[in-house]
């Protein structure tokens, strides 16, 4: 069994996999990581390998304890990947994007795949049917756009994400919702169409914190999968275990 640990800036996701199947998942705050880790090992004593992906900061002591209990693959640009990485600056590529592309490589082998991760930022990552990762794009996510309008202007309010009733906003709040939400949706649709012009048989995956909110409003045919990153991390761990 494998333990997958995805460390963010505030929260940590922990998941247990039996081969390719996720059998457990939890999300805890950073300071609760040690207790959650110990509880998982007590509940699943057959866990014998772990992968750690961190865009936040896991305390050195917690990492030391993790390595004392299990063999740990700490994901970075030097980790062996199950795809050919043609990114121009591979050392600057985020570990979250590596995991997403790995999931696409494993689950959609032989297909051209565009992975859209709708989180703090929106990332677009493309892997070809020949299993070559070409790169993609990064743009501001929903929350970042709302915050930018508030932070960089004198009078625009900070609003919570809301689906607009109409594309013509008839108040300042409605106009902000229309600009942010339809702006993101139109961007995504435009990116998908641009890829489809060159790769006609395109598979599109939507994941990330805003995936459920956005998937209901997209016109394009997509697969929504909130666990795609965790599944990708598990695939990387399996790939490195067989090397």
Could you give the angle at the alpha carbon of 57 between the alpha carbons of 51 and 62, nearest 5°?
Answer: 65
178 DSSP 8-state letter = I
Percent of the chain exceeding pLDDT 70 equals 98
The listed CATH number (3.20.20.70, 3.30.420.40, 3.60.20.30, 3.40.50.2000) that belongs to domain 84-233: 3.30.420.40
136 marked ligand binding residue = no
pLDDT on residue 137: 98
128 marked ligand binding residue = no
172 marked ligand binding residue = yes
Catalytically annotated residues:
96
Arch. (CATH architecture) of 2-74: 2-Layer Sandwich (3.30)
C-alpha to C-alpha distance for 238 and 52, rounded to whole angstroms? 13
Q: For 83-122, how does the pLDDT look when each residue is reduced to its tens digit (9 = 90+)?
A: 999 999 999 999 999 999 999 999 999 999 999 999 999 9
Please report which residue ranges of the chain form alpha helices under DSSP H.
33-43, 60-69, 95-107, 142-151, 172-177, 183-198, 211-215, 228-241
120 marked ligand binding residue = yes
Q: What is the mean pLDDT of residues 37-55?
A: 93
For the chain, give every domain's residue range: 2-74, 84-233
CB 16 within 8 A of CB 27: no
> Beta strands 21-29 and 11-18: pairing type?
antiparallel
243 band by pLDDT with thresholds 50, 70 and 90: low
């Amino acid at each position: 069994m494998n333990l997958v640990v995805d460390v963010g800036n505030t929260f940590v996701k922990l998941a247990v996999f039996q081969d390719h199947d996720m059998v457990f998942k939890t999300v805890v705050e950073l300071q609760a990581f040690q207790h959650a880790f110990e509880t998982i090992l007590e509940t699943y004593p057959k866990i014998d390998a772990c992968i750690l992906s961190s865009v936040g900061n896991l305390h050195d002591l917690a990492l030391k304890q993790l390595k004392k209990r299990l063999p740990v693959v700490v994901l970075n640009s030097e980790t062996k990947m199950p795809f050919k990485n043609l990114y121009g600056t591979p050392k600057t590529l985020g570990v979250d994007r590596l995991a997403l592309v790995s999931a696409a490589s494993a689950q959609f082998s032989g297909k051209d795949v565009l992975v859209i991760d709708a989180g703090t930022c929106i990332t677009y990552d493309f892997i070809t049917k020949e299993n070559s990762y070409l790169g993609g794009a990064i743009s501001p996510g929903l929350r970042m756009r709302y915050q930018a309008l508030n932070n960089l202007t004198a009078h625009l309010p900070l609003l919570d994400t809301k689906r607009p009733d109409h594309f013509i906003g008839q108040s300042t709040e409605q106009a902000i919702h229309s600009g942010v939400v339809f702006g993101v949706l139109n961007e995504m649709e435009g990116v998908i169409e641009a890829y489809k012009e060159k790769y006609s048989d395109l598979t599109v995956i939507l994941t990330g914190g805003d995936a459920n909110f956005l998937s209901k409003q997209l016109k394009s045919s997509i697969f929504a999968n909130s666990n795609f990153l965790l599944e990708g991390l598990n695939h990387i761990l399996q790939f490195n275990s067989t090397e």
